[in-house]
Amino acid sequence: MDEVIWHNGKAYRKGYTTGSCATAAAKVAALMLLRQQIIDNVSIVTPSGATLHLNVERPLISPAQATAAIRKDGGDDVDATDGMLIFARVSLRGDPAIVIDGGAGVGRVTRNGIGLDIGQAAINKTPRQTIEAAVREVIGPGRGADVEIFAPEGEERARKTYNGRLGILGGISIIGTTGIVTPMSEESWKSSLSLELGMKRAEGRERVILVPGNHGERFVREQLGLDPGDVVTMSNFVGYMLKETERLGFRQVLMVGHFGKLIKVAAGIFHTHSHIADGRMETLVAWLALCDAPHELMHRVAACLTTEEAMALINDAGWQRVYPAIARRVAERMTELLRFSPRPPRCDALLFSFDQQVLGSSRPVAELTEAFR
């Protein structure tokens, strides 16, 4: 495979997924079992068509089974599973079936909504297919095999992932749709957030509260007194998560966040990380102008570096009326993004300050929260 991608003029090294590790480990364990000899390296073709040549670690053979491990390499991507060993243990069956399960360190599914049955090992669809195909290639059509995927460090590493929120308990997930980890892609992060959203819908919820992060979740719980079960983190992926709510058929979306984050949405910025776009002060000045604020205040706000600094000036000058206007515009932007949907959800927004006070909302707060009680 091409080993690097370029992003902002810098080369980033690609890696490979836990699914690729599990596939390679299962393939080489099956080969060692049939040949009854140690094998030091193995090659697989990923779902994206890239060929990986991987070193084998901890090989172990007996007449009845063989075990091998592949070390996960996430490349230059931020990855909680980077560097850990993914093992496969293979034994032959008396029938032609290939049965794949998870062992120690591979999580178990405890909630609906992620495409796996409750009680199953958290080995996603694509890795299951590639594992089965790799083992079948080795053992042929007439034999069957039991394949156990395990990861001794998995339970501890999983604490750094979203698995607990997704109802995957006891370890990591074996994932990967392409088999390759692409640095800077953000795809795995977005997929995790989308999975959580899907689980809420699978529970029968038709209303959801999107928040940028922990501050928003705490505000919903402590200040609004609403069920945290209605809350899903969207991080910076505002547009992506809004479109996911529409795809999944939610009827109402309430976006709750700090003013400095959600004001970007009022400007039509649907990826709110600062490396994508900013425009906070320009947007704030524009709305102050629409509210007929004095030119002197607008000039002072334009010179601010943070929204907290700007808010202090606005509050001292008594122009808090700008906050509800911006909240309404955020809700309008949300609705505009989903304007081509045949059944778009009702969209609302609520903005709060760092001291956990409501600044403005697209509708009265009591009206917004009533539907969630």
22-60 tens-digit pLDDT: 999 999 999 999 999 999 999 999 998 889 999 999 999
- 280-290 and 295-302 are packed helices; what angle lies between their axes, rounded to 10 degrees? 170
| Mean pLDDT along residues 181-203 | 81
- The token pair that represents 301 in the structure block: 């706000």
- 259-266 and 322-337 are packed helices; what angle lies between their axes, rounded to 10 degrees? 60
HSE-up of residue 173 (Cα within 13 Å, Cβ side): 26
- The token pair that represents 290 in the structure block: 């629409």
Q: What percent of the chain stands above pLDDT 70?
A: 95
In this prediction, residue 355 has a pLDDT band, given cuts at 50, 70 and 90, of: confident
Residue 182 confidence (pLDDT) above 80: no
Residue 189 confidence (pLDDT) above 80: no
Residue among 163, 68, 174 nearest 121 (CA): 174
- 322-337 and 280-290 are packed helices; what angle lies between their axes, rounded to 10 degrees? 110
Q: What percent of the chain stands above pLDDT 90?
A: 76
In this prediction, residue 1 has a pLDDT band, given cuts at 50, 70 and 90, of: low
| Mean pLDDT along residues 343-352 | 96
Environment class of 265 (CB within 10 Å of its CB; exposed 0-12, middle 13-18, buried 19+): buried
| Mean pLDDT along residues 315-344 | 96
In this prediction, residue 321 has a pLDDT band, given cuts at 50, 70 and 90, of: very high
Average pLDDT over the chain reads 92
**pLDDT given for residue 2 in this prediction:** 53
In this prediction, residue 354 has a pLDDT band, given cuts at 50, 70 and 90, of: confident
Q: Looking at domain 4-181, which of 1.10.150.530, 3.30.2110.10, 2.60.40.1230, 2.40.128.130 is its CATH number?
A: 3.30.2110.10
Model's pTM, two decimal places? 0.70
* 101/109 Cα distance (integer angstroms): 12
**pLDDT given for residue 193 in this prediction:** 86
Alpha helical stretches, state H, the chain: 18-35, 125-139, 154-158, 187-202, 214-222, 238-248, 259-266, 280-290, 295-302, 307-317, 322-337, 365-370
Is residue 55 within a helix (H) or strand (E), and if so which, with residue range? strand 51-55
Report whether 349 contacts 340 (CB < 8 A): no
Higher-confidence residue of 179 and 148: namely 148
**pLDDT given for residue 179 in this prediction:** 86
Residue 242 confidence (pLDDT) above 90: yes
Residue for token digits 């570096």? Answer: 305
**pLDDT given for residue 4 in this prediction:** 54
- The token pair that represents 2 in the structure block: 């091409």
| Mean pLDDT along residues 304-320 | 92
Residue 248 confidence (pLDDT) above 80: yes
* 252/206 Cα distance (integer angstroms): 7
pLDDT digits (tens, 9 = 90+) for 122-178: 999 999 999 999 999 999 999 999 999 999 999 999 998 878 877 899 999 998 888
* 188/288 Cα distance (integer angstroms): 39
Rounded (to 5) percent helix, strand, coil in the chain = 35, 25, 40
Q: Which of 95-99, 163-167, 355-359 has the lowest mean pLDDT?
A: 163-167
pLDDT digits (tens, 9 = 90+) for 61-89: 999 999 999 999 988 776 789 999 999 99
b/e map 74-93, b = 16+ CB within 10 Å: bbbbebbbbebbbbbbbbee
* 16/180 Cα distance (integer angstroms): 4
Report whether 148 contacts 106 (CB < 8 A): no
| Mean pLDDT along residues 289-312 | 93
**What are the residue boundaries of the structural domains of the chain, listed by start?**
4-181, 187-370
Would residue 75 be called left, alpha or beta, if left means φ above 0 and alpha means ψ between -120 and 50 degrees?
left
